[in-house]
Amino acid sequence: MATFDDFQKLDIRVGKIIDAEDFPEARTPSYKLKIDFGGETGIEKSCAQLVKNYTKEDLKGKLVLCVVNFPPRQIGPTVSEVLTLGVPDRDGECVLIEPERDVPIGGRLY
């Protein structure tokens, strides 16, 4: 069973997607994202399987939650530096977790 201390080890922050590109080299349809977290974290890259529910244009400017303290992960020819969080819809496709209000980027989930 996970403890509260385990949860505290995760650094989950609000970021703003500033760019989304096709990722044709991925095994499953995906986008390469650039996400701005402001402050010390700055701009990080992420790869996400979002093509079923979002266009690239839908994603730009969207606020999302990401785990920013996992080690980078090689995905095909690119590196994903943060894990963008989502939940499955009825078809098992990713739906992003988004703040309902306009909150500052870089804010930590608690």
Q: Tell me the per-residue pLDDT of 79-91, one tens digit each, with 9 for 90 and over.
A: 999 999 999 999 9
- For residue 80, the cross-strand partners are 73
In 3D space, the residue among 71, 13, 73, 9 whose CA is nearest the CA of residue 37 turns out to be 13
How many Cβ atoms are within 10 Å of 59's Cβ, its own excluded? Answer: 21
How deeply is 67 buried, as exposed, middle or buried, from its count of CB atoms within 10 A (0-12, 13-18, 19+)? middle
For the segment 43-64, what is each residue's pLDDT rounded down to a tens digit? 999 999 999 999 999 999 999 9
Cα-based angle 101, 10, 46 (whole degrees, multiple of 5)? 70
Tell me the whole-structure pTM to 2 decimals.
Answer: 0.95
- For residue 67, the cross-strand partners are 12, 83
For the segment 6-39, what is each residue's pLDDT rounded down to a tens digit? 999 999 999 999 999 999 999 999 999 999 999 9
Give the DSSP letter string of 1-57: ---HHHHHH--EEEEEEEEEEE-TTSSS--EEEEEE--TTT-EEEEEE--TTT--HH
| Structural domains present in the chain | 11-96 (2.40.50.140)
